[in-house]
Copies of this chain bind each other. A is one copy, B any other.
Amino acid sequence: MGTVVTLVGQVGAAKLADGLYRLRGKDLAAIVNTGDDYEHLGLAFSPDIDTVLYTLAGLASASAGWEPEGETRAVQSMLRSLGGADQPAVGDRSLAAPLLRTEALAGNRRLTEITRDFCRELGIGARVLPMCDERVRTNVVTDEGAITFTEYFNELGCEPPVRGFQYAGIEDARISDEVRDALLAPDLEAVIIGPANPHHAIRPILEVPNMREMLRKRGAPVIAVTPLVGGKALKGSAGKMMRELGKEPSVRAVAGEYLRLIDGFVIDREDEIFAESVRSLGIAVRPTATVMRTVDDRVALAQATLDFAAAIRATRVMEAE
């Protein structure tokens, strides 16, 4: 068995990463979106990185996977008493990583190094790699202009219709040595794009200069897993955003976002009727159970996705012969 790379943003993709981690351990590298990172209280919040850390360490809340289980709000309550802002809300346990991260960044350590140290302390054997060490911020373009994703999500409650996205700072982003090593591994077996909003969770990763080329460099199958089931996102705003962007919220439209990048697309059995329309884009399709309620669900979806990648590799070998 070789190594596996997965692209991660949001809770669903973190759960799939956990399934892959349980199957492959240290042979997994997760490249994580940092476009939704933000500053609050002078601290560097990296919500998608922390979601992956909590999930792989087995600390994530079952009902609110972006924060640790048993999260409390004592700091926030006192912040309010002292006149601090209500939003974004901070949880007590969730403050620890931003506190240590901010201190380490001030000491000129790279986000990748800081995240590696967190993994070591938490006993996570997989590599959790920020998409880059430079500061990139996903801005949501609305009718009123561009706003940060934090404003859109926390202050405006995802209300304003989305007209597009900007990935501020992306032109100065560089693929880190650690991401390069993961993508150029001689035994790279598959690249798996996790089930997440393609626009603001996955796209920032793909927009890092040379990332798309690098993802395809070793020729390992690139597989995406749908974030939509029956035309709706299980969690999050993918469906709403797609409609506002003038696209039908369908598995075909999601697959279309990854055109010329992915070889295969994993859809839910519920959407099997759309399989042909995705195949017409030149993309292989594998319907399976994609809803991850339990840890077993995560492992099953991870295994199905890896099996699909293996099948695509086998087809290529047959075609080459």
Contact = CB atoms under 8 A, between A and B. Distances in A.
A1 interface: no
Contact of A92 (B81, B92, B121): B92
A97 interface: yes
B118 A82 contact: yes
Interface residues of A, number: 32
Contact of A81 (B74, B95, B122): B122
B92 A75 contact: yes
Given A72-B92, A75-B96, A77-B93, A41 B84 contact: no
Number of copies: 2
A22 to B, nearest CB: 20
A82 B106 contact: no
A115 to B, nearest CB: 11
Interface in A82-97: 82-84, 92-97
Contacts of A96: 75, 78-79, 81-82, 84
A40 to B, nearest CB: 9
27 contacts: A41-B100, A41-B102, A41-B103, A43-B99, A68-B78, A71-B74, A74-B93, A75-B75, A75-B93, A75-B96, A75-B99, A77-B93, A78-B93, A78-B94, A78-B95, A78-B97, A79-B96, A79-B99, A79-B100, A82-B97, A82-B121, A82-B122, A83-B117, A83-B118, A83-B120, A83-B121, A84-B100
Given A42-B103, A81-B122, A83-B120, 12 more contacts: A41-B102, A71-B74, A74-B74, A75-B75, A78-B93, A78-B95, A81-B96, A81-B121, A82-B121, A83-B117, A83-B118, A84-B99
